[in-house]
Amino acid sequence: MTEEINVAGVFVPTFVVACIFALGLGMALSATLKRAASFEIKSFAWHPALFDFAIFVILVDICYTLLGKFLS
Amino acid sequence: MTRTLLSRIFGDAIFPGTFDPRWALFSANSFIAAMLAIYLAFRLGLQRPYWAMLTVYLTAQPLAGAVRSRAAYRLLGTLLGASAAVALVPLLVDQPSLMTLAITSWAALCLYVSLQDRTPRSYAFLLAGYTATTVAFSSVAAPHLVFEVALARVEEIVLGVCCATAVHTLLFPSDVTGALIRSIDAAVRDASAWTAEVFLEHAPTKGKAARWRLASDVTQFEVLSSHLRYDTAAAKPQNWMIRALQDKFALVLPMLTAIEDRLDALGERRPPELDQLLSRLGQWARAPATSQHHSQELMRLCAEFEVIRPAQDSGWDALLISSLIAKSSAMIETLAAIVELNAVIQGSQPAPYLTRFESKVHRAKRPLHRDQGLAALSVVAFFAAVLGCAAVWVATAWPEGGLAAQIAAIAAALYSSLDDPAPTLMSYTLWTIASLPIAAIYLFVIFPAIDGFPLLAASLAPPFLVIGYLQANPRHIVKALALGLGLIGALDLQNRYLADFASFANVNAASLIGLLSAFLAVRAFRSVTAKHAAKRLIRHGWVDLAILARARRPMDRERWVGLMLDRLGLVVPRLALCGADVETEAGRSLAALQMGLDLFDLKSSVANANDQRSERLEGLVVKLSNAFRWFASGNIELPPEEAQALRATIDTELGEYCKWDAAIQRTRRTALVGLRRALFPDAPAPTFDGTT
């Protein structure tokens, strides 16, 4: 797969782009869940910040895989 | 002996008797984050790995939400500053003097903007300013590499920010929500206890410092709630709830002081039925959540009492009682709202119960006090420090001059929100000097003897764990930051061992010259004493009151009260610091706040009724505005003739409104009584022809 993506002449590592996408996706997901669900899902988590981080890692992995597929 | 010496240097922070495990945890987290940042910087082959480590210590805060918000603002500021440098340097590459001026002006503008905002958001602008100077001055020798320098700076800061955020968030985080909820709960209990005390004991409880804390608490809620969005807690109170609570809390101090004042003025002439009513109010206020009475019931009792009394009594005492009842009723309503909001914030009641508040709460941010004059002086000091270093740099072709200018920019900006940043800067400089021998030992004794990252981390652990522990203690934060940042900067950790004494001496001499030039510039242009700062705050309060009196358009009551209360919270510690009589001086500021509330009532009643009397009230308002301007120019008392004329005007108006009992007249009467008591507390009671 391509390890760097050309963004307006600047070569950015694919991993960084995946992280940025995952961050945006995570925030959008969290906001949507907050609106849609009448309860706070994170309140069921033992460690809310760790829960957030775990979701972020999963999203990074998904984004990285998808970017790799699209760019290869 | 050793213990005495160490405790003198470090305070009591490092001894087992006062060992705080939370601070130790914070220190361990910071160290883990710093080592993670430096390890990743080495692995990624970044140019200046120590920037990532510096960022970890600059971002570290005891509360996880605060770390995340600071990280976000630091990242945003760095991006903005680096972009400004990348935009400006290529444009002015042939004009180094003009480029220096342009970059310094950009940084000064950012500093000015950051000083207009006292919440943590200001950090973004601060960073936008000094990142631009750092990037631009680092790339003066090779301007074509400005993009690379900016990119390296952004990469290292992103790395530092990510490591600090991840470690402080994941390893035993302490959330902002818990701290905010605890401080709100304590403030609610204080307000209830004070209200009960005023109603039950009937005597002014002047001289208690705790009440002044209430003013600064409201600002503290604002600062803490700005971190809420970034907090790690699962369930966070919504910002509108905190705003609603702040709006209500802002009224407690002026209203309770007004009630105390009316009780003081009435003395023993209180009718027994009034005592009875007050004791019922006091019993409710002692435990509002569990009381058998409901606030609505008590407010109804107050309304009934107000209707009955004027028929029996007349004259000044009747007016005082009427004002007392009106204020008491408003106080009960406010306290009930505070208790309800607190229950929702604590999570003991569902939020929909209070949705009626949501529509009333202003979504706009609450304004905090801003001092344009002091901000302008900070900008002048910043220019003097940076341009002074830059001039010496250009004139002498000093190779390290750029570094001196960078450090001068950071130092002149970093503590510019303080009244007098000079002592803090001097302390910072001294502790930076203290870090140099430690750095020299590491560079020339320890580092040559070790190899590999694990040994590097193990050798750095002792000083950085102590520094992190000191950083957690608000008393030692400046010395910890100076030691930590001085040490990290002087070590200049790289992948390879590159120590060279000449370069070590040159770089650190330039840093110290930068720090000293910032100190001299700040001392020359910016330093103000606590007394002067308090005077400025008090003057701003009176000027705002005069503007309110003259305002043609209606002003926002909550915003105005919030601003005045914030000033009161700021003025009290400064008065205490300069040894002034806090009760008298802060009491005058509080009186200004009370008069503002009365003026709001008076002006709204004028706006609601366009009769002939309203026009006369306009005349009174103009006189009041002139009086407030007189106080703003530093006078304690009005000239005798003006005082007499103003008092006579208020008394004439009061005499008019004694005869009527419609709601609008009652509002005006209460407001006029409040103004008369605040302006002329020692004046004899007025006599009203035809009514007495």
Q: B586-639 pLDDT, tens per residue?
A: 888 888 888 898 888 888 877 666 665 666 777 788 888 989 999 988 888 888
**Among B231, B217, B210, which residue's Cα sits nearest to residue B338?**
B217
Average pLDDT over residues B299-323: 73
pTM here is: 0.85
For A4, the enclosing helix (H) or strand (E) is strand A4-7
Residue B503 lies in a domain: yes
Would you say residue B217 lies in a domain? Answer: no
Q: Let me know whether B461 and B403 are in one domain.
A: yes
Containing domain of residue B71, as a range?
A: 21-174+371-525
Q: Which of A40, A50, A52 is opposite residue B235, by nearest beta carbon?
A: A40
Q: Which of B390, B333, B346, B389 is nearest to B186 (CA)?
A: B346
Task: Assess whether B198 and B318 both reside in one domain.
Answer: yes
ipTM for the complex shown? 0.87
Backbone angles phi, psi at B529, to 5 degrees: -80, 165
Quick one: pLDDT at residue B2? 46
- Chain B residues 198-257 with a CB less than 8 Å from chain A: 232-235
B29 and B162 fall within a common domain: yes
Query: What average pLDDT does this structure show over A58-66?
Result: 94
Q: Is residue B226 part of a domain?
A: no
**Measured over all CA atoms, what is the biggest interatomic distance in chain A, rounded to whole angstroms?**
45
Q: Is the residue at B13 inside a domain? A: no
Which residue among B173, B232, B234 places its CB closest to the CB of A40? B234
Q: Say yes or no: B48 and B75 in one domain.
A: yes
User: Looking at the domain assignment, is residue B440 inside a domain?
Assistant: yes
Q: How confident is the model at residue B133 (pLDDT cuts 50, 70, 90)?
A: very high
B413 pLDDT higher than 80: yes
Interface touch B170/A50, C-beta < 8 Å: yes
Question: What integer best gives the mean pLDDT of chain B?
Answer: 85
Tell me what the mean pLDDT of segment B38-62 comes to: 91
Domain boundary among B463, B496, B525: B525
Distance CA B551, CA A26 (A): 48
- Percentage of residues in chain B having pLDDT higher than 90: 32
Query: What's residue B310's pLDDT?
Result: 52
Q: Do A49 and B235 touch (CB under 8 A)?
A: no
Say if B30 is an interface residue toward chain A (CB within 8 Å).
no
The span from the CA of B67 to the CA of B61, in Å, is 5
User: Exposed (0-12), middle (13-18) or buried (19+): which is A30, by Cβ within 10 Å?
Assistant: middle
Looking at residue B692, its pLDDT comes to 36
| Whether residue B418 sits in one domain with residue B407 | yes
- In terms of C-beta density within 10 A (0-12 exposed, 13-18 middle, 19 or more buried), how is residue B65 classed? buried
Same domain, B467 and B565: no
- To the nearest whole Å, the CA of B410 is away from the closest chain A CA by 29
Mean pLDDT of B444-468: 93
* Total domains, chain B: 3
Closest CA to B208 of B257, B146, B268, B269: B257
Q: Cβ of B234 and A53 within 8 Å?
A: no
Residue of chain A minimizing CA distance to B44: A13
Provide the pLDDT confidence category of residue B305 given band limits of 50, 70 and 90. confident
Cβ B435 vs Cβ B515: under 8 Å: no
B216 lies in a domain?
A: no
Q: Which of A12, A46, A47, A56 to mutate to test the interface with B (most CBs of B within 10 A)?
A: A47
Q: Is B689 domain-assigned? A: no
Are residues B554 and B504 part of one domain?
A: no
In chain A, the residue whose alpha carbon lies closest to the alpha carbon of B175 is A49
Do residue B159 and residue B194 come from a single domain? no
The pLDDT value given to residue B30: 96
> For residues B248 and B333, what is the distance between their CA atoms, to the nearest angstrom?
9
Question: CA torsion sign, B234 to B235 to B239 to B243?
Answer: negative
What does the alpha-carbon distance between residue B640 and residue B264 come to, in Å, rounded to a whole number? 25
Q: Record the tokens describing residue B228, joined without a space.
A: 């809420």
pLDDT at residue B396 tops 60: yes
Angle at the Cα of A41 from the Cα atoms of A36 and A45, rounded to 5 degrees: 170
Question: What pLDDT is recorded for position B379?
Answer: 94
Nearest CA in chain A to B237: A40
Tell whether B321 and B398 lie within a shared domain: no
B166/A50 Cβ within 8 A = no
Amino acid at position B214, single letter = L
Are residues B590 and B619 located together in one domain of the fold? yes
**Is residue B159 over pLDDT 60?**
yes
Tally Cβ neighbours within 10 Å of residue B530: 18
Q: Is B552 helix (H, G, I), strand (E, B) or coil?
A: coil
Give residue B521's pLDDT.
94
B235 with A53: Cβ contact below 8 A = no
Residue A12 forms beta bridges with which residues?
Answer: A5
Nearest to B173 among A40, A45, A49 (CB): A49
Q: What percent of chain B has pLDDT over 70?
A: 89
Report the residue count for chain B. 692
In terms of Cβ atoms closer than 10 Å to its own Cβ (0-12, 13-18, 19+), residue A63 is buried
Domain boundary, last residue among B358, B392, B417:
B358
Q: How far apart are CA B503 and CA B498, in angstroms?
A: 10
- Check whether residue B303 and residue B419 sit in a common domain: no
Residue B6 reports pLDDT greater than 60: no
The verdict on residue B215 lying in a domain is: no
**Which residue, among A33, A34, A40, would best test binding to B if mutated, counting the most B CBs under 10 Å from its CB?**
A40
State CA A28 to chain mean position distance: 10
- At B35, give phi and psi (nearest 5°): -70, -35
Between A42, A43, A53, which is nearest B170 by CB?
A53
Helix (H, G, I), strand (E, B) or coil at A7: strand
Question: What's residue B231's pLDDT?
Answer: 85
* pLDDT one-digit tens code per residue, B219-262: 788 888 888 888 888 778 888 888 888 888 888 888 888 898 88
**Confidence at residue B226, expressed as pLDDT on a 0 to 100 scale:** 84
Contacts of B564 (CB under 8 A, 6+ apart): B541, B544, B589, B592, B593, B596
Whether B137 contacts B386, CB under 8 Å: no
Which residue type, as a one-letter code, is found at position B436?
Answer: L
H/E stretch holding B144: none
**Alpha carbons B214 and B198: distance in angstroms, whole number:** 16
CA distance A9 to chain B (A): 12
Which residues have CB under 8 Å from B58's CB, separation 6+? B74, B160, B481, B485
Last residue of a domain, one of B336, B358, B380: B358
Token look-up 């229950």 returns: B343
Q: What b/e readout covers B468-504, taking b as 16+ CB neighbours within 10 angstroms?
A: bbbbbbeebebbbbbbbbbbbbbbbbeeeeebeeeeb
Among B162, B232, B238, the strongest candidate for a mutation testing the A interface, having the largest count of A CBs within 10 A, is: B232
One domain, residues B134 and B89: yes
Label residue A35 by pLDDT band (50, 70, 90). Answer: confident
CA atoms in the 13 A half-sphere facing the CB of B146? 24
